[in-house]
């Protein structure tokens, strides 16, 4: 079955590419159902969504073709589809079965944002993302359940090891087995381009973390050798992320039992903890900042007023990142947590600042992984690291843009002085899980709030 306003073979090619390639790719990266369900369903009732989908499908196809004559042809096609989407948005036709809901209008704007990030128009992509999230943030809501607690967690090797051990123990329960091969090899096995199973993804990231702990314990490395090892691990974790996203893409929306959902959530938080381990290793090491640049095409898309200037501020920021991981991991580890959830439509967050600004590149992103990734810059062949990741690198750039878009339209009042905001939308259920933290009145640690909201 196809939308009634599909009127040419070109329309069909663009729509099919989104349906069979772009939609699964976005769903794999975000681990979300919105691309395979809400977006595709809306194509049959809203011409603007259909043309926006065709534009993204066409620009994605152009990206896959690289610099070729065929790619230039697809460039023209994507531009044509994009103009049709914009025209349809500005002058709705009788083809619209109904006025788009705020959710549909928001997702359409997000499609425009994705199109522009493929085109390299980061500022325009940010504007569309901000408009998109503002539509969702402005919905009236009712609090269903809320929980607030003050935490003053200290990030140190012992506490971080304890968090890893807790997640590994939970992995044994969820996966029903222990990793088959946990031997640390030198050199390590290459990361597959796509994992054949979640078990394989687990085995690879577990071994990577083992290697990171060995690096942390070794003494006698000079600064440059240690930095080289760390950059190699960052490269491998990026490859792991791309291979994981490919596996989820290949599984599709129909193969999503609840057990597998929890397994995927656990692996992604385990990866975040691996990034935190790397950040802990690098933040307090003495190094010449002039020898490191910044990853200009991913984290540093926007400016910021200031980052951490003192050792104490850096420790406070790392403690906050550790507390965030501990709080969010509870929804996976604690099966009876009121904030445990399964499939979601959209998850966005601001990161947690101020940025550490490692090196002279002054990475302005406050997302944990982007700050770690910034250490790749200025290294031999760092451009190739991102090139071989393909569309995953484009989507990493999009998350950096989204980070600042969420900040620009936060539903929280400025008086709260929120340091982090995470919004997980369940659009079909009209529910939102909102998490945020604010400075503790006692001056130590943060106050963390988790709230279930019902939208109207």
Same domain, yes or no, for 159 and 48?
no
Q: Are 400 and 412 in contact (CB under 8 A)?
A: no
One DSSP character per residue, 106-135 reads HHHHHHHHHHHHHTT-HHHHHHHHHHHHHH
Q: What is the pLDDT, as a whole number, of residue 110?
A: 96
**388 within domain boundaries:** yes
Same domain, yes or no, for 304 and 226?
yes
Tens-level pLDDT at each residue, the chain (456 residues): 667 677 788 999 999 999 999 999 998 898 888 888 889 999 988 999 999 999 999 999 999 999 899 999 999 999 999 999 999 888 766 555 567 889 999 999 999 999 999 999 999 999 999 999 999 999 999 999 999 999 889 999 999 999 999 999 999 999 998 887 677 887 889 999 999 999 999 999 999 999 999 887 775 566 777 778 888 899 999 999 999 999 988 886 655 567 888 899 999 999 999 999 998 887 765 333 333 333 333 333 333 344 565 677 778 888 889 999 999 888 888 778 899 887 788 999 998 866 665 554 556 678 888 888 887 776 666 677 788 888 999 999 999 899 999 999 999 999 998 989 999 999 989 999 999 999 887 777 899 999 999 998
Domain hosting 254: range is: 155-407
**How many folded domains does the chain comprise?**
2
Same domain, yes or no, for 212 and 300?
yes
- Cis status, amide bond into 187, omega within 30 of 0: yes
Rounded CA separation 420/434 (Å): 11
Q: What is the pLDDT, as a whole number, of residue 1?
A: 62
pTM (2 d.p.): 0.89
Among all chains, which residue has been given the structure tokens 């809501």? 141
Q: What is the pLDDT, as a whole number, of residue 299?
A: 34
Tell me the longest C-alpha to C-alpha distance in the chain.
72
**Hey, CA dihedral for 73, 77, 78, 79, is it positive or negative?**
positive
Q: What is the pLDDT, as a whole number, of residue 287?
A: 33
**416 within domain boundaries:** no
Beta bridge partners of 453: 143, 432
Rounded CA separation 119/172 (Å): 43
Q: What is the pLDDT, as a whole number, of residue 255?
A: 52
Contacts of 68 (CB under 8 A, 6+ apart): none
Rounded CA separation 154/438 (Å): 17
Q: What is the pLDDT, as a whole number, of residue 219?
A: 57
pLDDT in tens, 369-401: 888 888 777 666 667 778 888 899 999 999 989
Q: Are 447 and 147 in contact (CB under 8 A)?
A: no
**414 within domain boundaries:** no
Same domain, yes or no, for 57 and 183?
no
How many beta carbons lie within 10 A of that of residue 96, not counting itself?
Answer: 14
SS3 category, 203:
helix
Same domain, yes or no, for 16 and 58?
yes
One DSSP character per residue, 21-74 reads IIHHHHHHHHT-STTTTHHHHHTTT-HHHHHHHHHHHHHHHHHHH-SSHHHHHH
Residues 131, 374, 204: CA angle, nearest 5 degrees? 100
């Amino acid at each position: 079955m196809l939308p009634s306003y599909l009127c040419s073979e070109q329309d069909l090619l663009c729509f099919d590419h989104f349906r069979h390639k772009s939609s699964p790719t976005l769903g794999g990266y975000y681990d979300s159902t919105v691309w395979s369900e809400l977006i595709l369903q809306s194509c049959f009732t809203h011409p603007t969504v259909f043309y926006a989908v065709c534009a993204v499908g066409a620009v994605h196809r152009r990206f896959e073709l690289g610099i070729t004559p065929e790619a230039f042809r697809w460039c023209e096609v994507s531009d044509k589809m994009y103009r049709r989407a914009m025209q349809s948005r500005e002058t709705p036709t009788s083809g619209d079965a109904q006025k788009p809901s705020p959710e549909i209008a928001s997702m359409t704007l997000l499609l425009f944002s994705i199109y522009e990030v493929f085109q390299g128009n980061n500022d325009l992509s940010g504007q569309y993302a901000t408009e998109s999230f503002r539509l969702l943030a402005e919905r009236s809501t009712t609090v269903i359940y809320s929980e607030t607690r003050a935490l003053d967690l200290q990030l140190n090797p012992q506490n971080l090891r304890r968090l890893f051990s807790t997640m590994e123990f939970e992995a044994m329960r969820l996966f029903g087995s222990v990793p088959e091969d946990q031997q640390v090899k030198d050199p390590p096995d290459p990361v597959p381009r796509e994992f054949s199973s979640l078990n394989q993804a687990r085995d690879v990231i577990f071994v990577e973390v083992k290697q990171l702990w060995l690096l942390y314990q070794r003494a006698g490395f000079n600064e440059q050798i240690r930095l080289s090892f760390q950059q190699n691990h960052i490269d491998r974790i990026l490859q792991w992320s791309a291979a994981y996203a490919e596996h989820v893409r290949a599984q599709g929306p129909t193969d999503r039992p609840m057990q597998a959902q929890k397994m995927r959530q656990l692996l992604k938080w385990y990866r975040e903890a691996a990034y935190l381990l790397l950040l802990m290793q690098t933040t307090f090491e003495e190094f010449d900042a002039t020898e490191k640049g910044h990853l200009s095409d991913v984290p540093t898309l926007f400016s910021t007023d200031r980052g951490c200037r003192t050792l104490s501020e850096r420790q406070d920021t790392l403690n906050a990142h550790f507390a965030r991981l501990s709080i969010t991991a509870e929804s996976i580890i604690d099966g009876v947590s009121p904030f445990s959830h399964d499939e979601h439509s959209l998850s966005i967050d601001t990161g947690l600042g101020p940025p550490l600004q490692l090196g002279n590149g002054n990475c302005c992103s406050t997302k944990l992984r982007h700050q770690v990734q910034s250490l790749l810059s200025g290294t031999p062949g760092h451009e190739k690291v991102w090139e071989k990741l393909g569309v995953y690198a484009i989507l990493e750039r999009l998350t950096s843009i989204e980070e600042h878009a969420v900040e620009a339209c936060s539903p929280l009042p400025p008086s709260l002085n929120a340091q982090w905001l995470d919004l997980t939308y369940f659009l079909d259920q009209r529910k939102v899980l909102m998490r945020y933290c604010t400075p503790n009145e006692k001056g130590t640690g943060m106050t963390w709030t988790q709230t279930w909201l019902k939208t109207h």
